Homo-oligomer: A and B are copies of this chain.
Amino acid sequence: MKEFSLIDTYFRSVSFQRKDVLLGIGDDCAITQIPAGQALATTTDTLISGVHFLPDASPKAIAQKAIAVNLSDLAAMGAEPAWLSLSLSLPNVDEQWLQAFSDGFKELTEYYSVQLIGGDTVQGPLAITITAQGFVTADQALKRSGAKPGDFVYVTGSIGDAGLGLDILLDKVQVENPQHREYLLNRLHYPTPRVFAGTSLRRVASACIDISDGLLADIKHILNASQCGACLQLDKLPLSNALLESVDRDRAFHYALSAGDDYELLFTVSEEQKSSVDRVLACSNVPATCIGQINGAVGKVDLKLDEQSYAYSQTGFEHFSSAQPSNSAKRA
């Protein structure tokens, strides 16, 4: 099968068709139209087999996670997703794999009304790079740099689930309850980008990031960009029943603080806007939990449990780090 017919067969018709795409797949470039008054938000994320997902992961999960991690970046900016470009590196042409991958791709692009506008298909080690583009007005973009001392720290949904899901997959932890097990694995394989929550928070949040590397690692990006510190209350962390009933409390904190891959939004809100959080998030049906407060101790995170300091040193996963946390084996 030739490269071009491959693209034609599996990707030309997979995605939602948008009116602002004047020219889609099949020419040297896609041509798209930005709504008047909007700026363009662009993000790129790559997933590599054996690094970001296990080599035997299902093609549907790979496709949907690759989309989700990119839409999550748009969400963290408060941007409305519009278009995707896909670079797919494949060791060989496996039609069954491609069909499942493109089916998964189609499902999520339709759900989020985003259109695949182009890309590249090359022969090489299995890897997926997606560039996602979306809209936000320049003055409403949720930057990392807007947090101020006194702001409250929130996180959407629950955190730590994907980390435990990975350890289940790697046979490091046994979870007997089949519903918990399925829930945790789904949180790892099918993260939900908080797209609607992100756009809802535009006028409310002072800073925002998505949790990909772990709560501690990602809040530090906000703290560094905003030149401030934070105090987090561990007893406030939103932890799922599946997590709490599967491991002891300290291990649950560890997953929540360091495991990453949850793709929840971590955001800060000024005291004046605090009363708006629940209201604006109601329409997106995503709960948010206040887990602490910003302070002036630049770059520092104080962890408290029941008013006491909580000693914890593990930071989130970073590529190329010589000291990788043990829960990141999949990405080592």
B-binding residues in A (CB < 8 A):
1-4, 6, 22-23, 26-34, 39-46, 48, 50-52, 73-74, 76-77, 79, 83, 85-87, 89, 92-93, 117-125, 127, 129, 131, 133-134, 136, 138, 141-145, 208-210, 225, 318-321, 331
Contacts and interface: CB of A to CB of B under 8 A. Distances in A.
Nearest to A136: B31
B138 A31 contact: yes
B122 A42 contact: no
Nearest to A137: B31
A121 B39 CA distance: 25
Contact of A2 (B42, B134, B320): B320
Given A1-B320, A40-B40, A46-B129, A29 B89 contact: no
A42 B117 contact: yes
Nearest to A85: B44
B31 A43 contact: no
Given A6-B320, A28-B210, A120-B129, 13 more contacts: A1-B320, A3-B321, A23-B141, A23-B143, A27-B77, A27-B143, A27-B144, A28-B74, A29-B73, A44-B85, A48-B125, A52-B122, A92-B320
A133 B133 CA distance: 11
Ranked nearest first, the 6 interchain pairs of A and B with the lowest CB-CB distance are: A48-B124, A3-B319, A28-B76, A131-B131, A29-B41, A44-B85
Contacts of A46: 87, 89, 120, 122, 124, 129
A27 B225 contact: yes
A1, A29, A43 pick with most chain B CB within 10 angstroms? A29
Contacts of A129: 44, 46, 87, 120, 129
Contact of A43 (B29, B93, B331): B29
Contacts of A142: 28
Nearest to A133: B42
A319 B122 contact: yes
Contacts of A74: 28-29
A44 B131 contact: yes
A131 B209 CA distance: 23
A89 to B, nearest CB: 6
Contacts of A22: 39, 138, 141
Contacts of A138: 22, 31, 33
B79 A29 contact: yes
20 contacts: A2-B318, A2-B320, A22-B39, A27-B144, A28-B73, A28-B210, A29-B74, A31-B41, A31-B138, A33-B40, A42-B83, A42-B118, A44-B118, A46-B89, A48-B125, A51-B122, A51-B124, A121-B319, A122-B319, A123-B331
A151 B87 CA distance: 34
A2 B41 CA distance: 26
A116 to B, nearest CB: 11
Contacts of A87: 44-46, 87, 129
Contact of A32 (B31, B42, B52): B42
A31 B123 contact: no
